[in-house]
Amino acid sequence: MGGKPARIIALTNGFHGRTLGALSATWKPAIRKPFEPLVPSIQFVRAGDPFALYEAFAETGVGHYGKGPVAAVIMELIQGEAGVKPLGADYVKQVRQMCDIHNALLIIDEVQTGIGRTGSWFAFQREDLSGGITPDIVTFAKGVAGGFPMGGMIAFGSKLSALFTPGSHGSTFAGNPLGAAAALATLSVIEQDGLVANAEERGRQLREGLMATGNPLYVSVRGRGLLDAVELSHPCAHAAMNWCLEHGLIVNAVRADALRFAPPLIVSEQDVDDALAILKAVPTDLPND
Ligand SMILES: Cc1ncc(COP(=O)(O)O)c(C=O)c1O
């Protein structure tokens, strides 16, 4: 390919974190700008649009023409920071197909969606989010060690996992025995206490309960398991978030017109009922953000 640098394709509205490499694949200009220059050769394409992806792959050229080959596509299956927006199973299947055709890796960032949050261990295991595809690489963190800093990645297939040999990647705190012990303990509690199924059931209770509150502030709900959002009738999410906080409920104004819910996986039926009672009472005349 004429030695042109390989590209990584990331999606508009995607969020992958604030360390340099991850930030380079994060879309939001306001977060990226202060840290530029970032890692080059990351190209953003419109999320959910298979034709945009097709075109981006097709830009690969030989000699003086075109860009370098696509090494990988990185994406979330539910764009969390963008407002809990699932990409859609059909689109995800098309991305997988294009990666296969072009010999590119598909990296699914499950830092927000993984470890039971969406009602399955990983979001890619949900047919209704992934269309049943298998990624090449999955990243995870957050809930894996119950609050202890810990993250990792899984590479599927021995050809790929053999590329990372001992010593080829490391940092002071990497391979941390305390982190590994915390993760093992957390994973066994999640398994023994049936918290993945709890996420699915409590999430359904939350989404259905929200629309049943009859509060006209709530237009529609979306999400899976315990990663959910409600669309608001007007852009008052910050005022709604503060009102909820004052009344004992933690929610997140993920967009001006949406609240995100990501309660702990141990949340009980009674906890969700209590949350719904607070959400029912949120005033409808809150000021816009
Ligand atoms: C999808 C996703 N990827 C990665 C991260 C990790 O971000 P950071 O490295 O800033 O903790 C997050 C954190 O919210 C996330 O939501």
Q: Distance, CA 173 to ligand 1 centroid (Å)?
A: 18
Among 85, 7, 122, 1, CA closest to 53: 7
User: From the CA of 23, how far away is ligand 1's center (Å)?
Assistant: 9
Average pLDDT over residues 162-187: 91
Closest atom of ligand 1 relative to the 19 alpha carbon: 9
| Tokens found for residue 124 | 């890619």
Domains of the chain: 7-140 (3.40.640.10), 195-281 (3.90.1150.10)
For atom 13 of ligand 1, which residue has the closest CA? Answer: 17
Output the pLDDT for position 281: 98
CB of 15 closer than 6 angstroms to any ligand 1 atom: yes
C-beta 218 within 6 A of ligand 1: no
Q: Say whether pLDDT at 187 is over 90.
A: yes
Across 110-131, average pLDDT:
98
Name residue 134's amino acid: T
- State which of 107, 110, 111 you would mutate to test the pocket of ligand 1, scoring each by most atoms of that ligand within 8 A of its C-beta: 111
State what percent of residues in the chain have pLDDT above 90: 89
Average model confidence (pLDDT) across the chain: 96
8 A C-beta contact, residue 133 and residue 124: yes
pLDDT for 175 equals 87
Q: Which atom of ligand 1 is nearest to the CA of 18?
A: 10
Report pLDDT digits (tens) over 270-280. 999 999 999 99
By the 10 Å C-beta count (0-12 exposed, 13-18 middle, 19+ buried), 229 is classed as buried
Mean pLDDT over 200-222 rounds to: 98
Answer whether 26 contacts ligand 1 (Cβ < 6 A).
Answer: no
Q: How far apart are CA 72 and CA 105, in angstroms?
A: 4
- Residue 132's φ and ψ, nearest 5 degrees, are 85, 10
User: 27-73 pLDDT, tens per residue?
Assistant: 999 999 999 999 999 999 999 999 999 999 999 988 888 899 999 99
Active centre residues (catalytic): 15, 109, 142
Q: Is residue 46 within 8 Å of residue 91, measured between CB atoms? A: no
pLDDT of residue 2: 52
- Band of the pLDDT at 1, cuts 50, 70, 90? very low
The whole-model pTM stands at: 0.96
Q: Classify residue 174 by burial, with Cβ atoms within 10 Å: 0-12, 13-18, 19+.
A: exposed
